[in-house]
Chains A and B, each alone.
Chain A
Amino acid sequence: MKMKTLLLGAAASFALAPAAMAERGSDGNVNIIYWQAPSIMNPFLSGGTKDIEAASLVIEPLGRYDPTGALVPFLAAEIPTVENGGVSEDLTTITWKIKEGLKWSDGTDFTAEDVKFTGDYCMNPEGGCAQLAKFTGVQSIDVIDPLTVKVTFGAPTPNPYGPFMGGQSPILQKAQFENCTGAAASSCTDQNFAPIGTGPFVVTDFRPNDVISLEANPHYRDPAKPAFATVNFKGGGDANAAGRAVLETGEYDYAWNLQLAPDVLAQMSEGGKGVPVAAFGTLVERIEMNMTDPSPDLPEGERATVAHPHPFLSDFNVRKALSMAIDRELLVEVGYGQAGRATCNLVPAPELYASETNTDCLVQDIEGAKALLEESGWTDSDGDGIRDKDGVKLSLLYQTSTNAVRQDFQALIKDWWSQIGVETELRNVDASVFFGGDAGSPDTFQKFYADVEMYANNFDGTDPQSYLSMYRCGNEPKPSSQWQGENINRFCNEEYDALLDELAMTGELDKRGEIAKKLNDIITKDTMTIVPLVDRGRVSAHSNSLGGVALNTWDSELWNIADWHRID
């Protein structure tokens, strides 16, 4: 495909970037389009990806992840580790040293007080902070001196890089947000729309859900950066239009997250005004099997709860056969092209945690699936083309959110399943209902009133511990928890839970990797509770004249916008 060579080209231009540096603001204006429009510049109040990314132009964390997933210091002088003494031996504290001479965009000094304030701001019980999970286990945040701040955890924390690391927890200015803590957080419109930051740009005009105008920060720490004097950050429309504006008409310089069918994207990039770039993270499109009975005949409150195991999906062989019937390579070709890879893993990256031996599912085996069902007693006894056993028919309800690619996947998978004698009814639900946690709606993915469902999920940062802990026994959505809970499949396995406890106690990286792989294998190939389909990459596009773009799936895509510049 043509895109691959283009990707190499983009990488080459990135490598050359530093040589092309000029003085601040010399390259004029850059146009960025996000088809989901940002509604607020404060990531602590929103949690939406679009808002986190927009905010990353203005406010910065102490350290970020780079495109390889490695930690790089931003406002910190270095990344604290056990080796350099920044992280204590017992894994309960982390001490951050801040770079000297940092200034906020209003000219005042950046100090450790601001860092402490940000932590307190988010941990305020009345504020409704979206990034509270980043501060899990934090006991106290103490200012040692104006340039040193120490975070103390209540228990040993093998991965202490939750607070102040990555685009989700940037530092807010204490002087600006002092009166905005707790319940007052949402009445601070001006602060939330135009935070004072340390990043390369400053907001000049913020129109919620529409457009943000920014200009270069006069106090940015590198006097030669950013190369652009102004940013026009437009939101709205759809991925199609955003791709067209960069690749075909050249009106915009950068388009975010182009979730387009590969043939559509390839056709657009023939426009020649820009290039698509792709990178992989941890996002995995998967089919989740319901281990409980979602039958509408059960009374409300018992439906899809652990009280009633699923009539046929509780049979491992059925789950395995369903997985064997799927041709993942074809799914990738149809839905994602270069931006997808077939996978059998729940944790596809980083390398340390990815179980590379788990590849059996990659080859489609319709005959094998048939034989497996036949062996375990699922036969078509009444000749209607649908297998059954003891009066239970292999008839599934397969739900997902509304999205062109997901509907194509549904059609393909329905076809394969019909070939092995499984009947499938498809349902697609509006994403705002499907992913919403409304306990009154029967269509949320947590409630799982279907036999199988498909969606994608990933984890923040590079450590999968909390991600794998979602499938702990008892963490399932149930009526008593208002259907909140992350163990969507209602999976329950003693060995799995014991390994999770072990993982939480282990600090050594190699050992952690080993346990994580075991956990991954249990929930995928050993039990087929989760059937991963595609490791989904991120595709964005930039114009031919924009240099310095390094697509990052571990942090904000705009993480290095200070290095972006114009090339001729």
Chain B
Amino acid sequence: MTNPAPAPIVALTDKEPPREPRSQWRDVWSQFSKHKGALLGAGFLIFITLAVLLGPYVWTLDPQKLDIRNKDLRPIYTALWDSGAKVAIGHPLGTDNLGRDGLANLIAGGRASMAVGWAAMLLSLFIGTAVGVISGYFKKIDGPLMRLTDLFLSLPILPLLLVAVTLFRQPLRANFGPEGGMFILIVTVIGVTSWMPTARIVRGDVLALKEREFILAARSIGTTPFKIIQRHLLPNVLSPIMVSATLGLATAIITESALSFLGVGFPSDFPTWGKMLADAVPRMNDFPERVLLPGIMISLTVLGVNYLGDGLRDALDPRIRGR
């Protein structure tokens, strides 16, 4: 016996063909572009990245070129209020106590600082998130992983770096050159010693999230743990990760400067913002620009990342995005 198919209910039929669904990333972008701070932050970051990358081609002065006769020049803007200041058009941001050009150093220092900051931050973010999510989600390895975190939290960074330098500097120097080798070493050490707070925080969030109904639902329809982590957990722990990223960038730049300050960082003829700042502190009274310029650059970069992070978080959170 066959029943004839019931007639379609008029109210439930589509009156017109469905619109092309908006892609998720279009939504993300439209939300992101509404966030002025985020746009500004992203714009500034792009600008500073381009500036440090292309700067040396525009401002061709060698940052290491010593010009002892033109030492201790002030930036040209000081001439506005102090007509007696020693300034020169050739050195718009002045020179240091050995006559090295301020602008060229700022660009070269930015290259190093940005590279170290981003690389170390991404490394620590990657390790931290991975350890945090895994130990929060899989109860079996939670204990060992968290004890490993305790171990890393208690390792003193200075001896660790000295050990790393002793063991790995020569092979890295042979393969990547003196500066490249040191770069890899420093980025790794900063990354390896700064992922623990991120891991702890992410784990805490995951512990709470995985008891929520939507995870239970996902699990009940047979979603694999990997998919659950990817689709449901990671997007929900994005905001603490973003905060860690912002703080991590600043910490990495500053840790690098402290290391250079202690003599285990880059060679002395390799400027970074943090090191320029540290070196200039004793002359803060007479040459405030030498501390202020790198200091402002670090702050602005960190602020830029922070706003970008805020915007990204809002844009990626489906609950906020709709509104």
Contacts and interface: CB of A to CB of B under 8 A. Distances in A.
Quick check: do A and B touch in the complex, using CB within 8 A?
A: yes
Interface of A: 240, 260-261, 263-264, 267, 296, 330, 334, 401-402, 404, 407-408, 410-412, 414-415, 425-431, 433, 440-443
Given A402-B263, A431-B263, A441-B166, A267 B286 contact: yes
Contacts of A431: 263
B4 interface: no
Contacts of A401: 263
Given A240-B282, A264-B283, A296-B170, A411 B263 contact: no
Q: Give the 8 A-B residue pairs with the shortest CB-CB distance, closest first.
A: A402-B263, A407-B268, A430-B263, A415-B66, A264-B282, A426-B267, A426-B269, A240-B282
Interface string B266-284: 0111000000000101110
Nearest to B171: A296
B263 A408 contact: no
25 contacts: A260-B282, A261-B282, A263-B72, A263-B97, A264-B283, A267-B286, A296-B170, A334-B98, A404-B279, A404-B282, A407-B268, A410-B269, A412-B66, A412-B68, A412-B98, A414-B64, A415-B65, A415-B66, A426-B267, A428-B268, A429-B263, A430-B162, A430-B262, A443-B165, A443-B166
Nearest to A429: B263
Contacts of B162: 430, 433
B283 A263 contact: yes
Given A430-B264, A441-B166, A411 B282 contact: no
A262 to B, nearest CB: 10
B174 interface: yes
Interface in B60-119: 64-66, 68, 72, 97-98, 100
Given A430-B162, A430-B262, A443-B166, A411 B283 contact: no
B167 to A, nearest CB: 10
Contacts, number: 69
Interface string B141-176: 000000000000000000000100110011000100
A334 B97 contact: yes
A425 B97 contact: no
Contacts of B281: 240
Contacts of B283: 261, 263-264, 267
Given A263-B283, A430-B262, A442-B170, A408 B178 contact: no
B285 interface: yes
Nearest to B166: A441
Nearest to B169: A442
A414 B269 CA distance: 10
B98 A410 contact: no
Contacts of A443: 165-166
B178 A425 contact: yes
A330 B68 contact: yes
Contacts of A296: 170, 174
B166 A442 contact: yes
Contacts of B268: 407, 410-411, 426, 428
Interface string B237-267: 0000000000000000000000000111001
B269 A261 contact: no
Nearest to A238: B282
A402 B269 contact: no
A266 B169 CA distance: 40
Nearest to A296: B170
Contacts of A330: 68
B66 A411 contact: yes
Contacts of A440: 166
Contacts of B279: 404
A440 B269 CA distance: 27
B314 to A, nearest CB: 45
A267 B98 contact: no
Contacts of A442: 166, 169-170
Given A402-B262, A410-B268, 9 more contacts: A334-B68, A334-B97, A402-B263, A404-B279, A407-B268, A426-B267, A428-B267, A429-B263, A442-B169
A497 to B, nearest CB: 35
Nearest to B270: A426
Contacts of B68: 330, 334, 412
Nearest to B170: A296
A261 B66 contact: no
Nearest to B278: A404
